[in-house]
Chains A and B, each alone.
Chain A
Amino acid sequence: MHTFAYARPTLLAEAVALLEAHGPDARLLAGGTDLIIRLRDGSARPGVVIDIKRIAELRPSIREEAGCLVIGAGTVMTDIAADERVRRSYPALAEAAAVVGSVQIRNRATLAGNVCNASPAADTAPALLVHAARVVAVGPAGTRRIPIDGFFVRSGVTTLARGEIVTAIELPPPDRAMGAVHLRRTRRRGHDLASVTLCCGVDATGVTRIAYGSVGPRPVLAVDESGVLADPTAPGAAKEAIFERLFADASPSPRSMRASPDYRLAMLRVLGARALRIAIDRLAQA
């Protein structure tokens, strides 16, 4: 691993100033489960690594604020998967957090890091898209709330501006009851990256939200407001036509090792139909 300057600020303002001063030559270090790999293989060669774990404002926390559930930037997957409020109100997010990497990875990896890394295969991204999460970012110009669908650009690239640090992920209160589930396909059971990762949410007004990843440069959100998908009595052909529209933005890379494009597109449809059934059942039980 090449060397770098290591900064360990304790104040958010200090981290913002460092990030603004160094721009792309600085990298933020939270759980490190992506960054340390890249520092070692040389695909990231920052001059400055800013460890954010001693910043008071970013300490691990899951708190309720104005009806929202706010997940602080330092919060790791293990704690999100175990949190009663997440499991009750945003079960798809708890399910997604519970399958990221292994126990060792989940003990270290943060939700904010997963989002900022902007991997197309990020397991938490589909659940955050279905639940209309917002990314809270603090930068030189103040605080911004970025809807998660406007945050991802492509692998490793987000709409964060220079000097901006994600301080929390905010989950808005569901306006109405929603049944939601996260499903994925991996090559092996246990610790693996997803070949397809998908979340489906159905709400009481019949709106279905499906989000999917690992099938294109960024995770995609698609919404069916017609009520057809949520209606168990709707004809199969009508549902298939809607699924085709919702999955139109999937464009899996032929160069990925994990699965062929044909396999991913086929599994996207299998997982979509399966997740829809589970989401409808969960809504009925809610």
Chain B
Amino acid sequence: MSESAAAFQIELTVNGHRRAIEVAVHHTLLDVLRDDLGLTGAKECCLVGECGACTVILDGRTVDSCLVLAVEADGSEITTVEGLADERGLGPLQQAFLDKGAVQCGFCIPGQLLSAHALLADNPHPSLPEIQEGLAGNLCRCGCYRQITDAVLATAERAER
């Protein structure tokens, strides 16, 4: 059925936790993650789908969460950077980013990590061009592209073939 109202009740599974929440229809998934759910890993930056700082994984695929209305994500499973670590510590990609010195200011890193995470889930042993293409939607103004791709390659090398 068709619904229309200024506010909308939605259900999300965020990093494995079910959340029922009322959202304004004109608020993006990014707004809701940051302002309503307190998950500030995804960053607001270009707001036109060019920089990738707001990248999250929505039902297994990366999206720019600034270009998704929260209501569109109703019923979805979402992974944010907060979901890559657990009580034992950082995930392997996160550790590789630190080991390779891929993190300078850190602003773009949540998005980079999620793009890399989704890439490796799809293609566990990507080539350098495949990594570059897989991460082309994530800009790094510190210019750490070399270290970031090194970290992804190192993580892939450690994964079982």
Contact = CB atoms under 8 A, between A and B. Distances in A.
Interface stretch (A2-10, A162-170, A241-249): A2-10
A78 interface: yes
Contacts of B66: 36
Interface in B57-83: 58, 61-64, 66-69, 71-72
Interface in A187-233: 189-191
A160 interface: no
A103 B2 contact: no
Most interface-central of A4, A14, A190 (chain B CB within 10 A):
A190
Contacts of B124: none
B28 A6 contact: no
Nearest to B8: A6
A40 interface: yes
Contacts of B105: none
Interface residues of B, number: 38
Given A32-B72, A40-B47, A104-B63, A5 B136 contact: no
B63 A190 contact: no
B3 A101 contact: no
Contacts of B119: 103
Interface stretch (B12-20, B48-56, B85-93): B48-56
Interface string A22-54: 000000010011001101100000001101010
B141 interface: no
Contacts of B132: 190
B24 A107 contact: no
Given A108-B63, A190-B136, A39 B26 contact: yes
Contacts of B1: 9-10
Contacts of B63: 104, 107-108
Contact of A48 (B4, B28, B50, B134): B4
B67 A37 contact: yes
Nearest to B3: A8
Contacts, number: 102
A51 B26 CA distance: 13
Interface in B132-161: 132-134, 136-138
B25 interface: yes
B83 to A, nearest CB: 17
A266 to B, nearest CB: 26
B71 A7 contact: no
A18 B47 contact: no
Nearest to B64: A104
A97 to B, nearest CB: 14
B2 A105 contact: no
Given A7-B2, A48-B4, A78-B61, A101 B137 contact: yes
Which one of A3, A9, A36, A39 has the highest number of Cβ atoms from chain B below 10 Å of its Cβ? A36
Contacts of B5: 5-6
Contacts of B52: 102, 104
A104 B4 contact: no
A55 to B, nearest CB: 11
Nearest to B6: A3
A189 to B, nearest CB: 8
A189 B47 CA distance: 21
A143 to B, nearest CB: 22
A1 interface: yes
A18 B2 contact: yes
A44 to B, nearest CB: 12
B3 A105 contact: no
A105 B61 CA distance: 10
A33 B49 contact: yes
The 4 nearest A-B residue pairs measured at CB: A102-B137, A190-B136, A6-B25, A5-B4
Interface of A: 1-10, 14, 18, 29, 32-33, 36-37, 39-40, 48-49, 51, 53, 78, 101-105, 107-108, 189-191
Given A4-B26, A104-B55, A108-B68, 13 more contacts: A7-B3, A8-B71, A18-B2, A51-B72, A103-B118, A103-B134, A103-B136, A104-B62, A104-B64, A104-B115, A104-B137, A105-B49, A107-B62
